[in-house]
Chain A
Amino acid sequence: MKIVNKSYSKIDGKGLVEGKPVYTDDLAPKDALIVKILRSPHAFARIKDINTKVAEKIPGVECILTYKDIKRIPFTRAGQCYPELSPYDKFILDEYVRHVGDEVAIIAATDEKAAMKAMKIIKVDYEILEPVLDYEEADGHPSLVHPEEDSFAMVDIGFDKSRNIACQVELELGEVDKALKESDVIIKRTYSSQAQAQAMMETQRAYTYIDMYGRLIVVTSTQIPFHVRRILSTALGIPESKIRVIKPRIGGGFGAKQTANAEFYPALVTLKTGKPAKIVYTRKEVFRGTNSRHAMKFDITLGATKDGKIKAIDMVGISDTGAYGEHSQTTIAAAGQKVLPLYNKVEACRYHGKAMYTNKVPGGALRGFGVTQGTFAIESAINELAIELNMDPTEIRDINMIKQGETTKLLNMTTKGWGDRPMYMDSCMLEYCISKGKELIKWDEKYPKVQISQTKVRGVGMAIAQQGSGLPKIDMASVTLKLNTDGFFSLLMGATDLGTGSDTILAQIAAETLGVSLDKIVVYSSDTDLTPFDAGAYASSTTYTTGNAVIDAAEKMVDLIKHHGAIHFNTTIDNIQFDGNTIKNIETEEYITLSDFSKRITYNHQFIQLSTTGSFVPEKNVPPYMAGFAEVEVDLETGKVDVVEFVGVVDCGTPINPKLSKVQIEGGITTGIGLALYEEVKYDENGRLMTDTFMEYKVPTRKDIGKVVVELAEGYEKTGPYGAKSIGEVVVNPVAPAITDAIYNATGVRIRELPAIPEKVYMELLKKKIKSKC
Chain B
Amino acid sequence: MKIEMKVNGQNKQFDISPDEYLVDTLRNNGYTSVKKGCDTGVCGCCTVHMDGKAILSCVILSAKAAGHEITTIEGVKEEAKKVGEYLVEEGVEQCGYCSTGLIMNILYMEKHIKEPSDEEILHYLSGNLCRCTGYTGQLRAIKKYLEARKNENSK
Contact = CB atoms under 8 A, between A and B. Distances in A.
A17 B129 CA distance: 15
Interface in B25-60: 27, 32-40, 42-43, 45
B67 interface: no
Given A20-B33, A201-B97, A705-B136, 6 more contacts: A19-B74, A21-B33, A252-B97, A252-B132, A666-B133, A694-B42
A196 B27 CA distance: 30
Lowest 3 CB-CB distances: which A-B pairs, in order? A499-B95, A19-B33, A16-B96
B97 A26 contact: no
Interface string B99-117: 1100100000000000000
Contacts of B17: 113
Interface centre among B39, B96, B125 (most CB of A within 10 A): B96
Contact of B103 (A17, A20, A21, A22): A17
A666 B134 contact: yes
Main secondary structure of the interface of B (DSSP, over half): loop
B155 interface: no
B88 A26 contact: no
Contacts of B87: 13, 17
Interface string B133-145: 1111111000000
A676 to B, nearest CB: 14
B95 A663 contact: no
Interface string A183-211: 00000000000000011111100000000
B95 A694 contact: no
A205 B143 CA distance: 35
Nearest to B30: A21
A249 B137 CA distance: 21
A10 B138 contact: no
B70 interface: no
B101 to A, nearest CB: 9
Given A9-B89, A660-B91, A702 B139 contact: yes
A663 B100 contact: no
A375 interface: no
Contacts of A499: 94-97, 132
B28 to A, nearest CB: 9
A698 to B, nearest CB: 10
Interface string A675-694: 00000000000000000011
Interface residues of B, number: 55
A703 B93 contact: no
Interface in A475-504: 498-501
A282 B39 contact: yes
Nearest to B125: A702
Contacts of B34: 19
B150 interface: no
A158 interface: no
B94 A663 contact: yes
A721 interface: no
B98 interface: yes
Contact of B35 (A202, A284, A660, A708): A202
Contacts of A10: 88, 91, 93-94
B7 interface: no
Contacts of A657: 91
B80 interface: yes
Contacts of B84: 13-14, 17-18
A774 interface: no
A201 B40 contact: no
B39 to A, nearest CB: 5
Interface of B: 17, 27, 32-40, 42-43, 45, 72-74, 77, 80-81, 83-85, 87-100, 103, 122-123, 125-139
B32 A26 contact: yes
Interface residues on A, range: 35 or more
A262 B125 CA distance: 31
Contacts of A14: 84-85, 88
Nearest to B100: A19
Contacts of B99: 16-17, 19
Contact of A251 (B73, B77, B88, B97): B97
Interface in A695-730: 695, 699, 701-703, 705, 707-708, 710
B122 A702 contact: yes
A671 interface: yes
A74 interface: no
B134 A668 contact: yes
10 contacts: A7-B91, A18-B73, A19-B74, A25-B27, A113-B17, A500-B132, A663-B90, A668-B134, A701-B126, A708-B136
B94 A667 contact: yes
Nearest to A669: B134
B144 to A, nearest CB: 13
A500 B134 contact: no
Interface string A651-669: 0000001011011001111
Contacts of A270: none
Given A670-B134, A701-B127, A13 B39 contact: no
A163 interface: no
A707 B80 CA distance: 27
Nearest to A251: B97
Contacts of A662: 91, 137
Contact of B38 (A21, A113, A694): A694
A250 B95 contact: yes
Contacts of A669: 134
A602 B84 CA distance: 40
Contacts of B27: 25
Given A499-B95, A703-B123, A201 B130 contact: yes
Contacts of B100: 17, 19
Contacts of B45: 201
A324 interface: no
Given A9-B89, A18-B80, A694-B129, A702 B138 contact: yes
Contacts of A20: 33
A72 interface: no
Given A23-B97, A201-B98, A705 B42 contact: no
A18 B103 CA distance: 9
Contact of B137 (A198, A666, A671): A666
Nearest to A252: B95
A695 B42 contact: yes
A25 B122 CA distance: 30
B135 A201 contact: no
A203 B97 CA distance: 10
A6 interface: no
A283 interface: yes
A254 interface: yes
A666 B136 contact: yes
Contacts of B133: 663, 666-667, 670
B121 to A, nearest CB: 8
B127 to A, nearest CB: 7
